[in-house]
Amino acid sequence: MIVRFLSILCFGVLVASAHSVEGNNDNEDIPYLELAEPDEGYHGLIRENETLVEVTPAIRARGPLCSFLILNNKHHGEAPFEIMVIDENEARLRVRYPLNCEKRRNYKFDIAAVGCDGSYSNTVPVHITVTDVNEFAPVFSQAAYVRSVDEGALYPELLRVDATDRDCTPRYGDVCKYEILQDGERQPFAIDDEGVIRNTEPLEYDKSHNHILSVVAYDCGMMQSAPVMVTIKVNKPCRAGWKGLAERVDYAPGTGPLALFPAARLEACSSDERCPGVTRIQAAVTLQASRAGVACDRDTYTVHAQRSICGLDQKTIDLLPSPGAGKEWAKSLKPDSDRDGEQMFEFDGESTSAVVPESVLKHSLGSTFALSVWLRHAPPPDHDKHRKEHVLCLADDHKMNRHHYAFFVRNCRLILLLRRDFGEGDLNIFRPAEWRWKLPEVCDNEWHHYAVNVRFPNVELFVDGEPYRAADGKGPEVIDDWPLHPAHGVNTTLVIGACWQGTESDMKHHMHGWMAGLGLLLGGVHSPSELRCCARCREGLSLAPDLYLKSVSVEGDGAAEVETLVRRVAYGDARSFPTPGRRNVHLATTITCDNGRVIKARPAESYVMVLAPQTPTILLNGSADAARDYAHFRAGLPVFPDLRVQVLARSGDNVKEAETQKLDSCVVSVYPALNPDHEALALRGAGALPAADVRATLTRDGVSLTGTDTVHNYQKILREIEYSNKKPAYYLNRVFKLTCSELNGRFTSNEYVQTLTVVHPRAAGDAHAQRPSGLADKLDVAREKSAGGLSAEVPVALNVPRAFAAHALRSPHAADVPAARVLDLHPNRERTSTNVTVLIGAVCVGAVVSLAALGAARARARPRTPPRAHRVPPHDNEMAWDDSALTITVNPMEETAAERACASHSAAPADSSDGDSCSDSDSDHNDSSDDEEVMAGKQHKYRNISQLEWDNSTM
């Protein structure tokens, strides 16, 4: 207390002295501290392990100086410093004992200069800061750490370690880093700067029950702590999962639904102490088909066939046809090389597009129409939210970039644009012009079917056959706009896969993805049932018949309930001929315990192997050959009159006819191609054909029938194919080949060959000419019988005009000219080509001699019985006409003689054979419209005259 009193007293004296000095600062005998800013005082820094204080500015004084005095502040306590005088005007500050930053970091006191006479200078404050020294290492808050975890999971935080440092400043007192020390064996753990430990891979109880780690901490000065032990215990796993599941399940097509897990059992870990009771169990069975999101019937039928099967309006215009004749505008598209039959087209987003001619689709849609398309689209690589990708676009073709209507994708939205023309409403009234649907399906890179039914201003979207319903219950975003203003001299361009930019004369806004089955129906809309049929997949999982789902989820309060439901999950495929192969099945299960703990059961994997279906046999049969005469070929005759088409399917060991089977194409080919001048193929009685969805294409090469329809309808149409030939004399026969197929060419029939043989007329001397030969002669007999009252009904075929053989002799009084004799120069067919020159010479000589003997021949004319013509072997009937043409001796007077012969017999009765002969001859002679008819008439008349023998001397 005495010391403290003396200090206070001294301080008061100094203060008084200071005032006295301030009042008499001009007195040079009193010391004075030199300081520019006395109020600021002195500032000093000292490390806690040092003795001298760095003071700024240096301590200096004026006047007679003997020492410096430290005046302790009663609020800061005693200062552990002392002042050393270096010379008469300067001093230094040092500590009297070691400082400790962790205990006290700041000191404040006043100093004064003391003269030798005991006078005091003014007092100035001094601020001292003690800086830290990294003298302490971090220390963990616990001596060891232990944590138990379950196997098979990745934990973002297994546990957190914590260490502290005793140093007084953040530089040395904060912990900046933690590290797991490796002892040579890599540990599946990691630690961050906050001390959080996590596992980098799932832990397995069988590999290691415990993982022991050594963890150290570092302060910001990188002083390392002593290691701490961290133990990670892996709990013995609860083996929750399914048992009794077959790895493979074989499915035979046509057998109906098949239960996948009939003996399934669930181990729920109910005895595990960590899961004392089960609150809820959820199981999900998922069928991972190879083409999820696509109507699986597209594996079987083409887009056109699907439309036919589902009953879509046949007026639907196909805007993505397979490139071919009449569809040249589609050649720029890129069909899928593996599935050409499916008409799938790739659009590269840069150059692929096709301009639709106005002859295919008029550019005006009207107020009612339907648009449908299969689309597979993914987000653009650059993730540009403003990029447009057009499915269909109608825009001005030059000068302007106005889009009249469009269907496109932007920012994973499906957008329909319908700008009304200036003539379709008041230009000053807003009307709906754009409909926007936000759909996750648009950017999932899976196939989906989209259809838009428009009854302006009502627009309805169908996705995969179901009406679109937004999650929030709202409809699409509708944007109103004014109608287009009038513009003169502007045409439009309709583009698929892009949009025409008139000002740039180039395509823009290309589609990047896949499209198929783009169809447009004008003046009508598609019914929901039709669209549902087009997008449906009759393959999937279900708990009930006729229900096909991609996944089935079941849940229950206990294992027994869930087991019962899982055992009922079945796979089914209603198609007769599904695509064989593997379908993976995934079973995932989640168990919720009473204490809130969630256990993921081991996932179960299985697969369904769809076996190859029994291949159906498409059988075509009938009479393969048919012989007809000229009249039938001219009038037209059916190519396959008695064709029978059958589809045979095997059921066990039995083979039976599949009555419900359908065909999708038949091709009739003829080679060489038809001559359109006188040959034709047609469908007779087209109006009486069944209401079948079959399209017929008739060309020079044959007939192509396409479209999915019943076997009965195809058979009826094939029987109505008719072949006609106005000049049958030019042909020996015509051969037609027929093949049919189903399921887009997957199953093909046998090749059925039909031969139509031309029956050429026979020579009169042939014994076969004296009795009915060929269909025409048989019809004559039938006609005579019917005329005599033997039959009350006359077949329609009897009305076919009778064509007699022009070269058959009908009367012995056929000519009044002198008799001539025909020399048969080639009794054997093998010498025909050798005797051609001799024949030509004989014909020329005969012509000259006949002119010289004309008068004598008239005088000596007398009828003679014609000699029997040389019989042509039966197997050479088809060539009899050509051979006879090479053995004719021309009589230059035959026309005059024939005319007189006909005139002489004109008075004969109507049923006279002579009259018939003349009539036939005249008709042959006067029919100048057919070249072969004139040739045949003249040729046959020459043969009639040739029956009169010539005198040997004329040769």
| pLDDT of 299 | 52
Q: Rounded to the nearest 5°, which phi and psi values hold at 232?
A: -110, 115
Q: What percent of the chain has pLDDT over 70?
A: 70
Banded model confidence at residue 943, pLDDT cuts 50, 70, 90: very low
Q: Check whether 179 has a pLDDT greater than 90.
A: yes
Residue 14 pLDDT > 70: no
Mean pLDDT of 139-147: 93
Q: Which residue has the higher pLDDT, 519 or 550?
A: 519
642-691 residue pLDDT tens: 999 988 876 655 666 766 678 888 999 998 899 999 999 998 876 555 65
Tens-digit pLDDT profile for residues 292-334: 334 455 555 666 667 767 777 778 888 888 777 777 788 888 7
- Across residues 495-513, what is the average pLDDT? 90
What average pLDDT does range 834-858 have in this prediction? Answer: 55
> If you average pLDDT over residues 513-529, what whole number do you get?
89
Confidence of residue 462 (pLDDT cuts 50, 70, 90): very high
193 versus 890: the higher-pLDDT residue is 193
User: What are 480-500's pLDDT values in tens digits?
Assistant: 887 777 777 778 899 999 999
Asked if 213 contacts 197 with a C-beta cutoff of 8 angstroms, the reply is: yes
pLDDT in tens, 30-68: 788 888 777 788 998 888 888 888 888 888 888 777 888
Preceding omega of 57 cis (within 30 degrees of 0): yes
pLDDT digits (tens, 9 = 90+) for 118-135: 788 888 888 988 888 888
CA atoms of 630 and 732, how far apart (whole Å): 11
pLDDT for 844 equals: 60
pLDDT (mean) for 807-830 = 38
- CB under 8 Å to 918, separation ≥6 — which residues? 901, 902, 905, 906
Torsion of CA 437, 438, 443, 448, to 10 degrees: -50
Rounded-to-integer distance, Cα 774 and Cα 629, Å: 7
Q: How confident is the model at residue 428 (pLDDT cuts 50, 70, 90)?
A: confident
- Alpha-carbon span 618 to 711, nearest angstrom: 10
Confidence tier at 339 by pLDDT (50, 70, 90): very low
Q: Are 608 and 580 in contact (CB under 8 A)?
A: no
Nearest Cα to 416, choosing from 431, 437, 447?
437
Residue 421: which of 365, 495, 347 has the closest Cα? 365
* Tens digit of each residue's pLDDT (9 = 90 or more) over 264-303: 998 887 666 677 788 899 999 998 764 433 445 555 566 6
pLDDT given at position 778: 53
Q: Categorize the per-residue pLDDT at 164 as very low, low, confident or very high, splitting at 50, 70 and 90.
A: very high
Is residue 574 scored above 70 in pLDDT? yes
pLDDT band at 450 (very low <50, low <70, confident <90, very high): very high
Q: Which of 284, 836, 255 is nearest to 574 (CA)?
A: 255
Q: For 768-799, what is each residue's pLDDT tens digit?
A: 444 444 444 555 555 555 544 443 344 444 44
- pLDDT value of position 498: 93
- The pLDDT of residue 871 is 41
Inter-helix orientation angle 303-310/528-535, to 10°: 140
pLDDT at 542: 85
Torsion of CA 51, 56, 57, 63, to 10 degrees: -30
For residue 876, the model assigns a pLDDT of: 39
Helix (H) or strand (E) holding 715: helix 711-719
**Mean pLDDT for all residues in the chain:** 75
pLDDT band for 92, please (50, 70, 90 cuts): confident
**pLDDT tops 80 at residue 849:** no
Q: For the residues 95-107, what does the mean pLDDT come to?
A: 85
Average pLDDT over residues 736-746: 85
Is the CB of residue 561 less than 8 Å from the CB of residue 592? no
Partners of 431 in the β-ladder? 481
Pair of tokens at residue 410:
């932007």
Please report which confidence band the pLDDT of residue 460 belongs to, taking 50, 70 and 90 as the band edges: very high
Residue 850 has pLDDT above 80, yes or no: no
pLDDT tier for residue 465 given thresholds of 50, 70 and 90: confident
**Three-class secondary structure assignment of 768-802:** HHHCCCHHHHHHHHHHHHHHCCCCCCCCHHHHCCC
Q: How many CB atoms neighbour CB 389 within 10 A?
A: 20
Predicted pLDDT of residue 466: 87
pLDDT computed for residue 926 by the predictor: 38
| Strand, coil or helix: 2 | helix
Structure token digits, residue 502: 């008139």
Burial (CB < 10 A; 0-12, 13-18, 19+), residue 23, is exposed
Query: Percent of the chain at pLDDT above 90?
Result: 23
Q: How far apart are the C-alpha atoms of 418 and 425, rounded to whole Å?
A: 13
Query: Three-state SS for 689?
Result: coil
Output phi, psi for 6, to 5 deg. Answer: -65, -40
Strands (E) in 574-685, as ranges, are: 581-593, 598-600, 604-610, 617-621, 625-628, 637-638, 644-651, 654-657, 662-670, 679-683
- Which of the residue ranges 145-159, 186-200, 398-412, 845-859 would you say has the lowest mean pLDDT? 845-859
Question: Tell me, what's the pLDDT at 566?
Answer: 93
Count helices and strands in the chain by DSSP H and E runs:
14, 59
Q: How far apart are CA 280 and CA 527, in angstroms?
A: 42
Q: How far apart are CA 267 and CA 275, in angstroms?
A: 13
Amino acid at 577: F
Q: Which two tokens stand for residue 779?
A: 């019809």
Residue 929's nearest CA partner among 682, 733, 758, 678 is 678
> Angle 656-662-668 (CA atoms, 0-180°, nearest 5)?
105
Tell me which DSSP letter residue 96 carries.
S
At 341 the three-state DSSP class reads helix
